[in-house]
Amino acid sequence: MTTATLPPAALAASPSRTPTVRRRADAEFQIRRADERDALALAALSRPFVHAGALRERPLSLYAARACDFLVAQAPDGTLEGGLGLSEHAADGVLYNFCVAAHRQGSGMGSRLLQAAFARARSRALTTLFTATTGSGRLFLGHGFVPSHPDLAPAAWARTLDPARNARVLARAL
């Protein structure tokens, strides 16, 4: 999993936002649980991040089969503009495939998705959340994650980490 941000060149093409616009934009979406009907939109939302190397490629069938893992940020027109998967591994959880559309980055959408994931994890009595990032991890670190060793993470998930990606594992106690 990567803190999915687009390269600076892609972000530079996004319109600039003032703090007032950020607050209004933040209120213009809802966070909800995804379902299998969202699989195609989740795959499409993830595609630019896959192409940029920020996310691992996942087949559409995985998004369909694991749609219930995802929390999504949906615009009033129904467009998915953010998504975050939360898989459960006994008492621990793993956040994965976290991405926010370029035009929504900096709007607070990522923080709201993360807060919703924390609430969902707590409701499931999970004690620790893990994630892996090839990026700066700034959003995660700002929300209480700290560097962790992969051996402390759920073994089934840690085995899927690609050493060639040089991902850092982060953890947060709930």
Interval 28-74: pLDDT, tens: 899 999 999 999 999 999 999 999 989 999 999 999 999 999 999 99
Q: Kindly tell me if the per-residue pLDDT of 174 is higher than 70.
A: yes
In the chain, the domains with their CATH numbers are: 8-173 (3.40.630.30)
Return the minimum-mean-pLDDT range out of 24-28, 54-58, 127-131: 24-28
Interval 78-122: pLDDT, tens: 999 999 999 999 999 999 999 999 999 999 999 999 999 999 999
Please state whether the predicted TM-score (pTM) of the whole model is above 0.85.
no
Confidence of residue 27 (pLDDT cuts 50, 70, 90): low
Rank 27-31, 133-137, 150-154 by mean pLDDT and report only the highest.
150-154
Tell me the pairing of strands 92-100 and 80-89.
Answer: antiparallel
CB atoms within 10 A of CB 168: 17
Residue type (1 letter), 65: A
The number of angstroms, rounded, from the C-alpha of 104 to the middle of its chain's C-alpha atoms is 13
Higher pLDDT, 46 or 26: 46
User: Which among 52, 31, 55 is positioned nearest to 43, based on CA atoms?
Assistant: 55
Order of strands across the sheet that contains 80-89? 30-33, 70-74, 80-89, 92-100, 128-133, 168-173, 146-147
